[in-house]
Amino acid sequence: MATTSKNILDSLPDPVIVVDNKRMVIQANLAALELMPGDTIGRDLAHSLRHPLALELVDTVIKGGTVELEDPESLVEIKYTTPLRRSFSLHIVQALSDRDNEETQIVIFLRETTADKRAEQMRVDFVTNVSHELRSPLSALVGFIETLQDAAKDDREAQQRFLEIMSREAGRMSRLVEDLLSLSSVEMNEHVRPRDSVEITKIVNSVIESLSVRAAEKNLELKLEIEELLPPVVGDSDQLTQVVQNLIDNAIKYGGHDSTIEIKVDTTERVPQTVGPGLKISVRDFGDGIPEEQITRLTERFYRIDKARSRNLGGTGLGLAIVKHIMNRHRGNLEIQSTEGEGSTFSIFLPVKTGQNPSGGA
Ligand SMILES: Nc1ncnc2c1ncn2[C@@H]1O[C@H](COP(=O)(O)OP(=O)(O)O)[C@@H](O)[C@H]1O
Ligand SMILES: [Mg+2]
């Protein structure tokens, strides 16, 4: 009987500890022993649970009292820092008295809240970042409005200059809001698989056309190499346009000048991390490249190698985060390869409709 209940407790992912009415640990499941190494069984709970308030609550329950934890998570948060920082919320239950000697047993459950805490931290960081990004153009606008109403009231030349700056700052705010809305709508529908049959060739060609003037301004040649008779992919045409647009736009912004941007579309037998075939679209530039340790961080919201440079170029730092979420929705992948001083290649992989011959018809 005892072994069975021990096995059951051991199979639980969260730590469970049972103490007697002297607060001595009489049972602890595997998860608890892993968390509290050393001699736990047969010793006072205080040796393994170093949290005064938690111990006080256990004592209260031992004495027959009840602890009404309306929100146990905020009341007691237990942190273990080795080897990784983990947090737990506390739940105490008075178990049935032991029939033989009428002793009370107290069961202590620790529910892991590490992931919740991390998500909460990410949410807080996100709000801080958004506020910060909006605040600087907003305070510039407010400042210039005051100047226009006051000091520059009769200076037509200054007015013209200030209005230009104001228009640029307002543009920055509106791009940010647009990207935020776009990110949130992609995230909201990330679990809904797209259904349309999409011709990538059309998308790539139209994006190249729309960005060709900007590329020409930096004397960058957009070179396209596209395999013939590509199979259609199942996708969301607007979102895939956004992905290709983001990648080519970045290549134009960060890929130097007087050079080439190579855009390649071909089939691949296997989309990374899947078993099926797909399409690979890659955008290669010959710009400064990206330091290796920063590559994995580029898809984080607001992460930019050089914030000031990105802002000057009209960036929001959300483009690659949007790309990542769109690729998740398409069960595709984004791969970034870069060598400092030589350039970067951003590739996306998209699964193709299986059971289709490569004639393009859907
Ligand atoms: N082709 C590229 N070459 C070098 N750095 C790049 C390239 N594409 C993106 N980056 C870096 O990744 C950052 C994030 O990109 P993105 O999310 O599109 O933001 P944004 O374009 O608004 O700055 C950029 O600020 C830049 O530092
Ligand atoms: Mg971008």
285-302: per-residue pLDDT in tens?
999 999 999 999 999 999
Alpha carbon of residue 138 to chain centroid = 26
Q: Which residue has the higher pLDDT, 208 or 33?
A: 208
248 Cα to the center of ligand 2, angstroms: 9
CB atoms within 10 A of CB 131: 10
Q: Are 287 and 214 in contact (CB under 8 A)?
A: no
Relative to the CA of 179, which ligand 1 atom is closest? 22
- Looking at domain 2-112, does it have CATH number 3.30.450.20? yes
Alpha carbon of residue 96 to chain centroid = 45
Question: What pLDDT shows up at residue 289?
Answer: 95
Question: Which token pair is 129?
Answer: 């970042």
Length of the chain: 362
81 Cα to the center of ligand 1, angstroms: 35
Question: What pLDDT shows up at residue 99?
Answer: 56
Instruction: Tell me: cis bond preceding 37? Omega within 30 of 0 counts.
Output: no
Which residues have beta carbons under 5 A from ligand 2 (an ion)? 250, 319
Q: Are 199 and 239 in contact (CB under 8 A)?
A: no
Of 3-17, 85-99, 270-284, the one with minimum mean pLDDT is 85-99
CB atoms within 10 A of CB 220: 23
Residues lining ligand 1, CB < 6 A? 246, 250-251, 254-255, 285, 287, 290, 298, 304-306, 310, 315-320, 344
Q: Which residue has the higher pLDDT, 35 or 214?
A: 214
Of the options 1.10.3210.10, 2.60.40.60, 1.10.287.130, 1.20.1200.10, the CATH number for the domain spanning 115-188: 1.10.287.130
Q: Which ligand is nearest to the CA of 304?
A: 1
Question: Is the pLDDT assigned to residue 237 strictly greater than 90?
Answer: yes
Three-point CA angle 306, 307, 308, nearest 5°: 95
Q: Domain 194-362, what fold?
A: Heat Shock Protein 90 (3.30.565)
Question: What pLDDT shows up at residue 360?
Answer: 41
To test the pocket of ligand 1, the residue of 172, 300, 304 to mutate (highest count of ligand atoms within 8 Å of its CB) is: 304
Q: Which ligand is nearest to the CA of 344?
A: 1
Q: Give the pLDDT mean for 323-336.
A: 96
Q: What is the pLDDT of residues 133-149, one digit of tens each?
A: 999 999 999 999 999 99
198 Cα to the center of ligand 2, angstroms: 23
* Complete DSSP assignment for 13-80: SS-EEEE-TT-BEEEE-HHHHHHS-S--TTSBGGGT---HHHHHHHHHHHTT-----SSHHHH-EEEE
What percentage of the chain has pLDDT greater than the value 90?
65
Question: Which token pair is 292?
Answer: 């290796």
Residue 70 contacts by C-beta under 8 Å, 6 or more apart in sequence?
A: none
Relative to the CA of 346, which ligand 1 atom is closest? 1
Q: Which ligand is nearest to the CA of 345?
A: 1
241 Cα to the center of ligand 2, angstroms: 13
298 Cα to the center of ligand 2, angstroms: 10
Q: What is the pLDDT of residues 25-53, one digit of tens each?
A: 999 999 999 888 778 899 999 998 888 88
Q: Give the pLDDT mean for 253-278.
A: 93
* Complete DSSP assignment for 134-197: HHHHHHHHHHHHHHHHTTTTT-HHHHHHHHHHHHHHHHHHHHHHHHHHHHHHHHHTTTS----E
Residue 66 contacts by C-beta under 8 Å, 6 or more apart in sequence?
A: 60, 94
Q: Which ligand is nearest to the CA of 256?
A: 1
286 Cα to the center of ligand 2, angstroms: 17
Encoded amino acid at 198, one letter: V
**CATH 1.10.287.130 domain range(s) in the chain:** 115-188
Q: Are 41 and 27 in contact (CB under 8 A)?
A: yes
Question: What pLDDT shows up at residue 4?
Answer: 64
**CATH 3.30.450.20 domain range(s) in the chain:** 2-112
Relative to the CA of 305, which ligand 1 atom is closest? 27
Specify the residue with its C-alpha closest to ligand 1, atom 1. Answer: 251
333 Cα to the center of ligand 2, angstroms: 17
Rg value, the chain, Cα: 29
3-state secondary structure of 6: helix
Question: What pLDDT shows up at residue 77?
Answer: 67
Relative to the CA of 310, which ligand 1 atom is closest? 23
251 Cα to the center of ligand 2, angstroms: 9
